Amino acid sequence: MLVMVTPIPKIAISKLTAFVLSLSTTTRSKPFPGVLDFYPRRRSYRVITSMARAGSVSIDVAGESKPDHVTEKWFSVPELRLRNHRFLVPLDYSLDSETSPKITVFAREIVAVGKEEQAMPYLLYLQGGPGFEGPRPSEASGWIQRACEEFRVILLDQRGTGLSTPLTSSSMLQFKSAKDLADYLVHFRADNIVKDAEFIRVRLVPNADPWTILGQSFGGFCAVTYLSFAPEGLKQVLITGGIPPIGKACTADDVYEAGFEQVIRQNEKYYKRFPEDVVIVRDIVNYLAESEGDGVPLPSGGILTPKGLQALGLSGLGSSTGFERLHYMLERVWDPILVPGAPKRISQFFLNAFENWHSFDTNPLYALLHESIYCEGASSRWSAHRLREKVECKFDAMKAAKEGQNVLFTGEMIFPWMFDEIHALKPFKDAADLLAKKEDWPPLYNVATLNTNKVPVAAAVYYEDMYVNFKLVMETAPQISGIRLWVTNEYMHSGLRDAGRQVVDHLLGMINGKRPLF
């Protein structure tokens, strides 16, 4: 199904002819409220990066010896050339740039081999999540290969991830109290990710020209925040599976109410695809319920319970290969009985696979910040947990197993019990609770600005998306003036990963007038 909404004019890609950037804060206007604070006040600075001398950086900021932008040398993977950029940015943009603590934000620049010194427009990629780093390409393939045909691609490690002063399950233990950690984490949502992007753009792009952005999933949420508060930094916007709900004080409840409906449908499709797993999952639930402590110890020190088992749906039900991956895990859940009379046991293979499934040990920000991405001026109050209680008759694993019904997996939802059962999350339970109760979240979107948007936007909307609900997307889309939608059931939420070249090519064709308007 193809739907085109509100056509946009064909635009031409401007040519970039210089790689010398001279900026003065006395003449630059504010990109959006609070962002001017990251420019040094009452003084100018000059950043000169020579493409002829790859990786050399000369920064002269009066009175400061530490550069806010360092460029490293080019290196290669097959058919691509890459180089790293590190930026020293304020943790809190609302504070004076001299007094705010600083963090590092990492970005990797990518071009096709031989194009290192060519003047090309820039494309910034915003990763899904929240709390996940940008891709690490090992060769030219997928959407990156397609984008490098006409763009200089920037892969951003969003603040707190990858090489951007990462917030890991070990580094966050440095905070002395849950409140200190929660107060720190409030600076890691889309609003500050966008401010980081603007900080980078004016230092990296010649003449501080606007750039194209590509937002996947949560990265698409960030793109709509960008359109709301810094549209002057954008030339065009591509979104894949990432149009957020907007316009209410707190939309988390709406998200999860719609989300549970889609999760039930995905469960139905899964068990229709693999009917033999119905009995396997029931047996696992009964085994866990009869175990001491209502669960089985995990290798890291956590515990696998029936609710934890159900959480496998987070990754297993929503991506193109998720059904198969989940089925193959369940195939090896039990140890073989080698000695007659030996007790039945869940295999070490399955327990290790379960822990590797979610990546909470390496990317705990996902669990800590997930519900906050829907909050504006109100608390989430553990929205998914509260909404689950309304449909618990369908998601009660032990009741379903006892009555011979299908045990339903849950979807992209974070529950408070995870901070008791998952070892990597246990130290952060109190901080997570503080974030769930926080009420004064700042706005993430400006509906009035979106209603008068002038930036060309093209978005891929996946009809059967378990992570970004189709109904809610279609409520938001008309509020972004000029947006063009490509609605398809050919791909799932992982469309950019599965068919990146085709998806990006289609969106660029839409936004540049190569596709029909209707």
Which residues are designated catalytic? 217, 440, 493
Question: d(Cα 24, Cα 41) in Å, to the nearest integer?
Answer: 10
Question: d(Cα 67, Cα 85) in Å, to the nearest integer?
Answer: 12
Give 59's strand partners.
47
How buried is 289 (Cβ within 10 angstroms: 0-12 exposed, 13-18 middle, 19+ buried)? middle
3-state secondary structure of 451: helix
Written in H, E and C, the secondary structure of 214-241 is EEECHHHHHHHHHHHHCHHHEEEEEEEC
3-state secondary structure of 359: coil
Q: What is the signed CA dihedral for 433, 251, 169, 124, rounded to 10 degrees?
A: -160
- Per the listing, tokens 């972004």 go with 480
Cis (ω within 30 of 0) for the bond into 340? no
Minimal CA–CA distance to 394: which of 309, 270, 329, 310?
A: 310
Question: d(Cα 364, Cα 161) in Å, to the nearest integer?
Answer: 10
Give 82's strand partners.
75, 110
Question: d(Cα 460, Cα 438) in Å, to the nearest integer?
Answer: 33
Residues 6+ apart with CB under 8 A from 501: 142, 143, 145, 146
Task: Give the total residue count for the chain.
Answer: 518
Token digits of residue 325:
């991956």
Using an 8 Å Cβ cutoff, are 339 and 437 in contact? Answer: no
Residues 6+ apart with CB under 8 A from 392: none
Using an 8 Å Cβ cutoff, are 237 and 213 in contact? Answer: yes
